[in-house]
């Protein structure tokens, strides 16, 4: 199934936006920015009012909406719980000992998961902010003995499984109820070690998404990088069989850059990857035929996106822009 992304609204700003969460049954979104604010806005408005919710002192890199609560995480290592009206109800200081990279809500709205560069995933009780458990399974260093980073996490649709992924291309699958690690998956194709130019590593898995039936896990990032001073590597998406833990397909194409976010259709009709290098890109992948259907430029380097309830609109944020798209099937 081919797809066209038609721009509905595009809003330019001076900030970089790293994360986005949509309030169900609405186009209202909360987005995390480089100025330390979470902004409350409607991207479909002609001139949306960007209502700032202050409280963080550095980049806001994770945000999740759960019922009448919005939870945000930042490079300042804090997690903040707010009501949708902006009222602060809970602040967790030093929720992680290093930068928080992502905050996600479980689909049943019971849990919040956060990951940080301390290489720990923590599960929090959604309404209270109580720490429930710590998931430790990622090594603190890359294979070449440099500090690793725990970039991303994702829940399965039934909220029973959680996946976490790091800079070195390691993926851990967790049982949410017990906190036990079920499997570790290897995806070394996302990791580049350069021992000539700068003697450091780059890359990593930046996005994860489960298929709705929980049988397939998609990971996104960048392939082998020839020039480490730029994101000069192929946009990479790899599919894994959850039961066996084995890689089943790697999507390859001519597009270069990071796949920062993955969006999967609720019925498995398509998988969409968004990101970029100095510019932005989006790619559409056919899950059944295992091929790249379409590659297009995006108005900005995209960091995060969210579908509306019926999967007809997509809200996205990134470098200096917020864009709302209409998703239109095409026969081209």
Q: Is the pTM above the cut of 0.85?
A: yes
| pLDDT at residue 45, as a whole number | 97
How far is the CA of 111 from the CAs of 67, 84, 125, 161, 210, in angstroms? 11, 17, 5, 12, 17
pLDDT digits (tens, 9 = 90+) for 156-198: 999 999 999 999 999 999 999 999 999 999 999 999 877 666 6
174: left (phi over 0), alpha (psi -120 to 50) or beta: beta
**8 A C-beta contact, residue 139 and residue 99:** no
pLDDT in tens, the chain (332 residues): 789 999 999 999 999 999 999 999 999 999 999 999 999 999 999 999 999 999 999 999 999 999 999 999 999 999 999 999 999 999 999 999 999 999 999 999 999 999 999 999 999 999 999 999 999 999 999 888 888 999 999 999 999 999 999 999 999 999 999 999 999 999 999 998 776 666 566 789 999 999 999 999 999 999 988 766 666 789 999 999 999 999 999 997 788 999 999 999 998 889 999 999 889 999 999 998 899 999 999 999 999 999 999 999 999 999 999 999 999 988 65
| pLDDT at residue 190, as a whole number | 94
| pLDDT at residue 227, as a whole number | 66
| pLDDT at residue 332, as a whole number | 56
pLDDT digits (tens, 9 = 90+) for 34-58: 999 999 999 999 999 999 999 999 9
| pLDDT at residue 193, as a whole number | 77
CATH of domain 2-330: 2.130.10.10
Q: CB neighbours of 101 closer than 8 A, spacing ≥ 6? A: 61, 62, 115, 116, 117, 149, 150, 151, 152
Determine the 3-state secondary structure of 190 from DSSP: helix
**8 A C-beta contact, residue 99 and residue 151:** no
| pLDDT at residue 2, as a whole number | 87
Q: CB neighbours of 255 closer than 8 A, spacing ≥ 6? A: 234, 235, 281, 283, 295
Determine the 3-state secondary structure of 120 from DSSP: strand
How far is the CA of 77 from the CAs of 6, 23, 261, in angstroms? 37, 24, 22
Q: Classify residue 328 as exposed, middle or buried by CB count within 10 Å of its CB (0-12, 13-18, 19+).
A: exposed
Q: Classify residue 157 as exposed, middle or buried by CB count within 10 Å of its CB (0-12, 13-18, 19+).
A: middle
| pLDDT at residue 232, as a whole number | 77
């Amino acid at each position: 199934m081919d797809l066209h992304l038609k721009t509905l609204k595009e809003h330019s700003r001076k900030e970089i936006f790293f994360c986005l969460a949509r309030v169900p049954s609405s186009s209202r979104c909360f987005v995390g920015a480089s100025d330390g604010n979470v902004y409350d806005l409607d991207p479909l408005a002609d001139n949306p009012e960007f209502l700032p919710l202050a409280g963080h002192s550095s980049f806001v890199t994770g945000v999740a909406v759960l019922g009448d609560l919005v939870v945000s995480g930042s490079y300042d290592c804090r997690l903040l719980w707010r009501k949708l009206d902006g009222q602060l109800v809970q602040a967790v200081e030093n929720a992680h000992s290093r930068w928080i990279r992502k905050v996600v809500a479980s689909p049943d709205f019971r849990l919040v998961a956060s990951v940080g560069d301390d290489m720990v995933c923590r599960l929090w009780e959604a309404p209270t902010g109580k720490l429930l458990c710590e998931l430790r399974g990622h090594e603190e260093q890359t294979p070449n003995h440099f500090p690793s980073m725990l970039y991303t996490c994702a829940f399965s649709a039934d909220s029973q499984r959680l996946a976490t992924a790091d800079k070195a291309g390691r993926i851990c699958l967790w049982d949410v109820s017990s906190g036990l690690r079920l499997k570790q998956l290897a995806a070394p194709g996302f990791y580049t070690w350069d021992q000539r130019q700068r003697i450091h590593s780059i890359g990593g898995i930046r996005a994860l998404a489960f298929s709705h039936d929980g049988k397939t896990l998609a990971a996104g990032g960048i392939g082998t990088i020839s020039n480490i001073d730029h994101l000069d590597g192929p946009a990479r998406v790899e599919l894994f069989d959850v039961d066996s833990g084995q890689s089943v397909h790697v999507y390859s194409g001519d597009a270069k850059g990071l796949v920062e976010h993955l969006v999967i259709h609720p019925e498995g009709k398509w998988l969409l990857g968004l990101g970029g290098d100095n510019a932005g890109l989006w790619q559409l992948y056919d899950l059944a035929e295992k091929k790249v259907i379409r590659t297009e430029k995006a108005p900005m380097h995209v960091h995060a996106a969210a579908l509306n309830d019926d999967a007809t609109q997509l809200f996205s944020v990134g470098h200096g822009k917020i864009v709302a798209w209409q998703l239109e099937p095409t026969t081209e």
